[in-house]
Amino acid sequence: MSLTLSIYDDLKIRLGTTADMDEVMQLASAAAKENGLLEAKPELLVRAIWPKLNLQTGLIGCIGKPGGKIEGMVVLQIGKLFYSDETCLEELVLYVHPDYRNAKGGRAHKLVEFSKSSAERLGLPLLIGVLSSAHTEQKRKLYERVLGPASGNYWIYGRKTGTFLREHANEAGTCP
């Protein structure tokens, strides 16, 4: 399956492979710390990521050369919603490393485009969105530019994304 999307001559979104496991895990952990609602467990991240790197339950679009640093990624899961037997493509995380967010190339934009293109090529509807308490409006506008109008909203009561680890670090006296 060829799902490579060129951004620039030297910057492409490619399918992640098992050789990318360490880099993908680092980005997944960073994404969970920055945007997660609940505490992330590494063993659960591995269980979600490994099959997608093997193209078993989805796929991972990566920005970066094979075997090198991954600048951004989108983890897409092929599955079913609890109420249907039909299959869809569901975005689990779309994350660009902070060092590359302002770099030329529009990495987040291209990862959303990659997700859309993957859904089209697989013939599946795409479920993708913004679950973040930081820069939400910017992210919403980005998704809307690529995908069109949103289909609803999402509320979290009792916590904000990205605060779980900070709250626990404060309790332990490890956060400034």
pLDDT in tens, 105-156: 899 999 999 999 999 999 999 999 887 777 778 888 888 999 998 888 777 7
**Other beta carbons within 10 Å of 12:** 17
The DSSP bridge pattern shows strands 87-96 and 126-127 to be parallel
Supply the pTM of this predicted model.
Answer: 0.84
Return the residue matching tokens 């916590």. Answer: 159
Query: Three-state secondary structure along 106-165?
Result: CHHHHHHHHHHHHHHHHCCCEECCCCCCCCHHHHHHHHHHHHCCCCCCCCCCCCCCCCHH
Domains and CATH numbers, the chain: 5-172 (3.40.630.30)
Kindly tell me if the per-residue pLDDT of 9 is higher than 50. no
